[in-house]
Each structure stands twice: as structure tokens, then as C-alpha cells.
Amino acid sequence: MSEQKATNITWHEHGVTTKDLERLHGHRGVTIWFTGLSGSGKSTLANAAAAALHERKVSTVVLDGDNIRHGLNKDLGFSPEERVENIRRIGEVAKLFTAAGVVNLTAFISPYVADRRIARELQPGSFIEVFCDADLEVCERRDPKGMYRKARAGEIRGFTGIDAPYEPPARPELRLDTDRRPVEACVEEILRFLERKSVITRADVA
């Protein structure tokens, strides 16, 4: 699905650069890519981190898996090929937000290592992978959408963690035990990481 079909196109450089926009915002643009099983806390953590950053006057946007499938990716299902295209498109959108000097937080299962690698390669140096590490049993107990129950009953096929694989990242920038640690502690670790990497300044997180 990612084959280049358009011809006679030219890449245009913008008069206002990413550096210009980062100076305007007062912080760097990055993508914080939350990955993990359904129910591992990706959306909860992405939104909590975005709220904490907003309080510190950091420009943020949250790209949530379900929300994106209501619009941009509403033509995609959940076959392996469509999952690949789903993540490819999100990787391109995330790259645009990073270029705009925004801290964008994506919450997608993104089960395949290869797809996450492609998203990372789109913006080397600005991609922060956060593995929301929660045991399958905990995710099933949470089951906020009732999806595990349906998958166990055979009503959903190809559900990640049940009859479709999830490939955990080997070396994420952050690994958070979201089944054992409270949301507030996880957010604090994210903020500290962003400070160490000079995405935001100490004043932003004081």
C-alpha cells in the first residue's frame, strides 16, 4: 500500500523551518510512540502525559488508534497488511507534527517490530518509543472495550495477544510497568526523560 504512485511531483522546502517553530514553542518537536497490548494503558498514559505537558505550556497532540480509524484510516481493517499500512500512515503524520515543533503522543498497539522501526527511521533522533509493559492477564482483566472477551469467544479474529502476535520492543527508550505503577509515576518518568534529552527544559517540568 505504500508504493509511490504519484508522478511529476516535487518536494517543496518551507520558509518557516522546524527550528523556527521550535523557538516559537520553546521546546523541541518529538514523537512519543506508546506501544503495548490492548488494555496496557497506552491511551490513558498518552493523555495523562499530554495534560501534564500542557500545564507546562508545551504544545502537544495525541494520536489515538481508535480515533484515527474513525477518519484518516477508516478504510483499513485489521489484517496484517492493513495493520502495516495503518502504522505507516501514522508514522508519516507523526513526522509532520514533529516537523511542526509539536510533542505528539501516539497510542497504537503497533504490534510488529518492523513497522515501529519504519516509523522511527522517518524521524531519527526525534522518535521516543515507550513500551507499556503489562501482563496479558492484567490487560484481560481490565478489558476496557470488551475486546478480549469477544476474542476469547471467537467473535473477533486476529486479535493481538490472543490469536495474533505482539512483538515487544527490545530496546525502547522507556519501558514502563503499567500494570504495577500508577499513571502519575509513569508520567513523571516520561517528563524526566524529556528533560534529560533536552526536549523540554527543567523550568518546564518544575
Count of C-beta atoms within a 10 Å radius of residue 168? 13
Percent of the chain as helix, strand, coil, to the nearest 5:
45, 15, 45
Cα–Cα distance measured from residue 150 to residue 31, given in angstroms and rounded to the nearest whole number: 32
Residues 146, 24: Cα–Cα separation, whole Å: 43
Q: How far is CA 103 from the centre of its chain?
A: 11
Give buried/exposed letters for 103-127 (b at 16+ CB in 10 A, else e). Answer: bbbbbbbbbbeebbebbbebbeebb
CA-CA distance, 112 to 134, in Å (whole number)?
Answer: 17
Q: Which is catalytic among the residues 38, 40, 110, 126?
A: 110
Residue 2 appears among annotated catalytic residues? no
What is the Cα–Cα distance from 172 to 124, expressed in whole angstroms?
14
Query: What are the residue numbers of the active site?
Result: 110
